[in-house]
Structure 1
Amino acid sequence: MQTNLAEPDFDVIIVGSGIAGALAAYRLAQSNVRVLIIEAGGVPSESLGRYALVRSYIESPPKATDSPFCGDNILATQPDPRAPTLGKDYFDYPSPYSGDTFVSFYERLVGGSTWHWQGIYVRMVPNDFHMNKLYGKGVDWPINYDDLNRWYGEAEREMGVAGDPEQRRDDYRNRTYKIKYPMPALDPSYLDRQVAKAVPRMAAVSGIPLHVDTVPHAINSRKYDGRPPCQGYTSCVPLCPIKARYEGIFHVEKAMTAGAVLRTQSVVTKLALDSSGKRVTGVYYRRWQWNDTDKRRYKLDADDRFLSAKVVVLAANAIENTMILLRSDAANSSKTVGCYLMDHPIKQSYGLAVEPLYPFRGPQTTSQIETLRDTKHRKDFAGFKTSIKNDGWGSNATGAPRGGKVAAQKEAEDWHPGTILDLVQNWGYFGETLKKTLAHNAVRMLTLNSACEQLPIKGNAVTQSSKSDDLELKRPLINYQVDDPDHYVRNAFRKIVEVHKSVFDAMGITRYKLQLDDDGKPLTFGGSGHIMGTTRMGDKPDQSVVDKNCCTHDHPNLFILGSSVFPTSSTANPTSTIAALALRAVDPIKAKLRSG
């Protein structure tokens, strides 16, 4: 386990095989760099293929986001090692704790969370990089839209993105950017078109008229890169059955074809540093296997293993990158590793339309209202965008129509969205009455889902718990609060509810549910699965972890990729910016290899 500096095992070790690690590994391997991708999880259904995942999903009663992957040789922790999702019972919280539960989770799988993402591919807007200068909120990025524009385009071509041509106005730099995606946009659904007809009848929100736009997707609208076009199964979360949607494993496979090595079921425990503490010499990792006699436990190697490299790249996620650094006592001279944890908090509303909308066709979101992503009011409330959902009530707070629990019955309530469990147990529906109710509701379901930006707050942080996981590593200890002293998110939630109600009113919908919040009480919110912050990017080493090239200030040969480097959250789904930053970091990594 001694470092061999004279002859390292690899030029570059990349920790994590999600989209950031996969894209970087592919580009580096193309340049004849000796690359190792080390992944904590396994390959879902490696021997049986995608058909096994589809069958697992079909046969799963809860149809949860990890349903296709249960039972495969993949890794999670309690309560069920057969499922890959980390969160909920994995995160720990201080005791006593008065904050919010962090409700976004992640997976340990080859390919990362792109196995079950929607494929929504939205760039940041130029003003997102200058939040403090323009709106007095958060901090400014050390880079701007100019620095990423080329890499946004390269990532879109690598992955295959379908979308209508767009224009982005940069108020800070007085420029206009034109975006042309590799493929035309996916067609709006019939449901989208009905909402789009109604929205112009709405009253302006904060003086701003709203309109409906198509959503760019990393989903094929025609054959691209050897993969078929979308067939509209509406199951992007948790699985595209035909590979029309982009997944990180595609570039893992391309990287391996170009010469990269993949090592699975290997959890990095810590980084190795040289005697000066400046250079990273490699990684220690822990191999695990199934325990054939006890499926709820793992077999661990007796000792951690070591691999050396000239350059190490952390590309796990904003929580796991943090945990590796904390266990290594690395890259933390600023004392900000783990700080500024962010998500895109969600507010959701759902209604029953008067006329059929015929949901459950196409990807889960094909159109959105993005008018309030960036306005002059951003100094007063968080920017947000509203997804028009094609999957009925499947993603709302009750989990309808599938349902995982029975809602309490309210005698005075004359309408209930209800799950099947609710309709049967609370309301006594069965036979023809149950069938007619389900048939009537199923074609009229409408969900509006709005996600807003969240300010970077130092106290929203990930540290090490005193409790250990199944691999005998400390679990993440979370401190998290959605609201902030300026009520930036709370004020946005009020506007979101106003938008949702206005859409329902414009469509003549009278039966709807809004997630209202009482002043002074905790906010009702959902998580986007967009885990950001914790190793933020910045020009000042005493206030940030990495520089504008994603290289750590403290260690010249340690890079960090992924949304953990985001200084602010913006309103964009982070995947596009993760991909652009990963591709942009390849040249600095190669330069570091040349300079030694």
Structure 2
Amino acid sequence: MIESAHEVPRGTTLQADVCVVGAGAAGIPLALSLSGRGLSVLLLEAGERTKDTKAQAHYQGEVADERMHSPLHRYRLRGLGGSTSLWGGRCMPYDPIDFEERAWVPHSGWPISYEGLLPWYAQANTWVEAGRFEYDARTALPSAPPMFAGFESAIVRTHGLERFSCPTDFGKRYRKRLEVAPDVRVLTGAHCTAIRLDESGANVRTLEVATLVGNRFQVSARAVVLASGGLETARLMLHSSDVAPQGVGNQHDVVGRYYQCHIAGNVGTLTVHGHVNNVRHGYETAPDGVYCRRRLQIDPVQQRRHGLMNAVARLHFPKITDPAHRSGVLSGLVLAKHLISYEYGKRLRDAHPMGSEVWARHVLNVLRDPLDTAAFLTHWVRRRTLSQRKFPSVILRNRTNRFSLEIQAEQQPLASSRVQLTEQPDALGMRKLRVDWRYCLADIESVARTLDLIAAELGRTGVGRYEYEVDRLEEDLMRYGAYGGHHIGTVRMGSHPKNSVVDADCKVHSVSNLYVAGSAVFPTSSQANPTLTIVALSLRLADRLAQRLQPRRAAAEELFA
């Protein structure tokens, strides 16, 4: 059932076997996966509705360098479904190498393996509605031509796929299941403001919960799962300092550190030789109806050999804000940038204001290119606006065989890249966050060596020529700072409490009944968007909790039968 937290009697203590804080990509699959297993589940969601403006204001905080990181109320939403209400739907698993301890990547290594997560990855694909768990074009798209005609390389892979969700808004898609589940109770408008430990600090005694209209109550549960995102989870743990002065789980000052996003940007120019049909640069439809897209990636054997962090490159059109591309579609996007949401319009906003001459050239592009512009608008309305499974993004007809490479790369985990609390409280008394996201020169150098390998292989095979300006690489990658809403690593997973916060089962090392679900626990960021791995880990945690909690419950029921 779904209820408002306003209706909970003030000062009461609600009881549950499992309390999940946050109803997004981690919390909803976890709660519903526990349903039907003999456990009572309480799911707390701070927002009362999708895109809850009043609740959203409680995300506001400080950013150390606004050029490097978006404001904290961007890219994440309070409301049933959380940030799945605005995500783009890109899905891919992490690669097996991402889970390994790599000598050239400090603080790398997961306490679980890719193979250990694989059963839940397959389930996660169903939850995100991305079709089959098949991310190799050679088997997923068996009749489709290769990415580049005549390209064979043991160094650069071109058969890796991204699959795209609808994109699925978990709040809308799974609302009915939450409403009818007899053992899952959802409270909206329920802001968890503190974790109260017992005197020993080894167990969660209660959670403090508040609403924006002044109601306050507590929750007592056998297991508590924090599923409120990579930033908010760290904030709640650091803020809860009455028993543990440094914050819950923070005896070794790890909570909030190692904060990662992705290194991303459009770099260089790729010219593919021969006919435009020699290259597959857009989206393809798998037999199950899911949109897929290929990308370039260095083979893991070569990543080890060259000491590279993981990265992918997608074929992309030229710089959108430069009218020299002469595309009416791209110029139309630039002219309409203020009508596009922040999350997707950010990269249409150049570092410098658009002068009248540049504005006029964009207008001229639109006027000169009416047929392509009209065709694009028709396609967009039919395949994006009106379609349940939406066409993922703008793809232009290939006229020139000239592309830029859109890079999305792993960054090195840095202890100095962190989130901390300010002294300023929000309206509910929680101290606000200050984010200081950082990257290092090794991140940029790894991308450079990746691009050099790609360029060499394209040249060796005669497929094309790729060139980029080495001196501008850092500028190109950092033009928009940290990439989007990929908030990773603030409550990292590991085997040792001195350099991690949760164990292989996502349980906080120092607290027997406190768990974390979501990208906060990822030790490293990989090349991949985090959502599919978030869901997979949450499903795995649900199975772990069911195994841990049910035997005790069954014994108690037998005792009182």
State if a TM-score over 0.5 links the two structures. yes
Give the corresponding residue for 2:342. Answer: none
Residues in 2 aligned to 1:9 and 1:23: alpha-carbon distance in whole angstroms: 21
Give the corresponding residue for 2:292. Answer: 366
Deviations, residues 505-530 of structure 1 (Å, cap 9, x unaligned): 988899x9989636799943550422
Residues in 1 aligned to 2:334 and 2:364: alpha-carbon distance in whole angstroms: 20
Give the corresponding residue for 1:524. Answer: 479
Structure 1: which 5+ runs fail to align?
45-68, 79-85, 169-178, 220-235, 237-244, 289-299, 407-416
User: Of the candidates 21, 25, 32, which is equivalent to residue 15 of structure 1?
Assistant: 21
Tell me if the contact between 2:284 and 2:292 (Cα under 8 Å) persists in the aligned partners: no
Aligned counterparts, 1:149-228, within 5 A: 149-163=118-132, 165=134, 196-197=147-148, 200=150, 208-219=155-166
Residues in 1 aligned to 2:180 and 2:470: alpha-carbon distance in whole angstroms: 49
User: Of the candidates 72, 81, 98, which is equivalent to residue 111 of structure 1?
Assistant: 81
Shift, 1:318, TM fit = 1.0
Deviations, residues 185-211 of structure 1 (Å, cap 9, x unaligned): 6998xxxx7x9236x469x7xx82442
Residues in 1 aligned to 2:474 and 2:406: alpha-carbon distance in whole angstroms: 22
Q: Does 1:403 align with 2:320?
A: no
Give the corresponding residue for 2:5. Answer: none
Structure 2: which 5+ runs fail to align?
1-9, 241-246, 324-329, 338-347, 377-395, 554-561
Q: Does 1:262 align with 2:186?
A: yes
Residues in 1 aligned to 2:218 and 2:503: alpha-carbon distance in whole angstroms: 27
Give the secondary-structure state (helix, strand or coil) at the position aligned to 1:14.
strand
Q: Give the RMSD, CA atoms, in angstroms.
A: 4.5
Give the corresponding residue for 1:125. Answer: 95
Residues in 1 aligned to 2:54 and 2:319: alpha-carbon distance in whole angstroms: 26
Aligned counterparts, 1:378-393, within 5 A: 378=304, 380-388=307-315
Amino acid at match of 1:558: L
Give the corresponding residue for 1:285. Answer: 209
Residues in 1 aligned to 2:24 and 2:476: alpha-carbon distance in whole angstroms: 37
Stretch of structure 1 that moved more, 492-501 or 313-322: 492-501
TM-score normalised by the chain length of structure 1: 0.68
Shift, 1:42, TM fit = 3.1
Residues in 1 aligned to 2:404 and 2:220: alpha-carbon distance in whole angstroms: 50
Shift, 1:337, TM fit = 0.6
User: Of the candidates 517, 522, 534, which is equivalent to residue 578 of structure 1?
Assistant: 534
Q: 1:450 to 1:36 in 2, by over 3 A?
A: same
Residues in 1 aligned to 2:503 and 2:16: alpha-carbon distance in whole angstroms: 24
User: Of the candidates 236, 255, 258, which is equivalent to residue 337 of structure 1?
Assistant: 255
Deviations, residues 7-60 of structure 1 (Å, cap 9, x unaligned): x5222111011121111100112213211111122333xxxxxxxxxxxxxxxx
Residues in 1 aligned to 2:221 and 2:356: alpha-carbon distance in whole angstroms: 60
Give the secondary-structure state (helix, strand or coil) at the position aligned to 2:423.
strand
Give the corresponding residue for 2:431. Answer: 474
User: Of the candidates 209, 213, 224, which is equivalent to residue 312 of structure 1?
Assistant: 224
Shift, 1:452, TM fit = 0.6
Residues in 1 aligned to 2:536 and 2:505: alpha-carbon distance in whole angstroms: 11
Tell me if the contact between 1:483 and 1:523 (Cα under 8 Å) persists in the aligned partners: no
Residues in 2 aligned to 1:396 and 1:468: alpha-carbon distance in whole angstroms: 40
Stretch of structure 1 that moved more, 578-587 or 250-259: 250-259
User: Of the candidates 100, 108, 115, which is equivalent to residue 139 of structure 1?
Assistant: 108
Give the secondary-structure state (helix, strand or coil) at the position aligned to 1:428.
helix
Tell me if the contact between 2:202 and 2:512 (Cα under 8 Å) persists in the aligned partners: yes
Give the corresponding residue for 1:588. Answer: 544
Give the corresponding residue for 1:565. Answer: 521
Residues in 2 aligned to 1:460 and 1:375: alpha-carbon distance in whole angstroms: 29
Q: Percent identity?
A: 23
Shift, 1:579, TM fit = 1.5
Deviations, residues 71-126 of structure 1 (Å, cap 9, x unaligned): x6663229xxxxxxx5xxx34145xx699436783222311222222322211222
Give the corresponding residue for 1:465. Answer: 422
Amino acid at match of 2:209: Y
Q: 1:263 to 1:448 in 2, by over 3 A?
A: farther
Deviations, residues 512-557 of structure 1 (Å, cap 9, x unaligned): 9989636799943550422110111111122211111111111111
Tell me if the contact between 1:450 and 1:496 (Cα under 8 Å) persists in the aligned partners: no
Tell me if the contact between 2:444 and 2:474 (Cα under 8 Å) persists in the aligned partners: no
Q: 1:418 to 1:440 in 2, by over 3 A?
A: farther
Residues in 1 aligned to 2:233 and 2:108: alpha-carbon distance in whole angstroms: 22
Aligned counterparts, 1:32-51, within 5 A: 32-44=38-50
TM-score normalised by the chain length of structure 2: 0.72
Tell me if the contact between 2:94 and 2:526 (Cα under 8 Å) persists in the aligned partners: yes
Shift, 1:567, TM fit = 1.2
> How many equivalent residue pairs?
481
Give the secondary-structure state (helix, strand or coil) at the position aligned to 1:385.
strand
Give the secondary-structure state (helix, strand or coil) at the position aligned to 2:545.
helix
Q: 1:434 to 1:355 in 2, by over 3 A?
A: farther
Aligned counterparts, 1:482-493, within 5 A: 482-484=439-441, 487-493=442-448
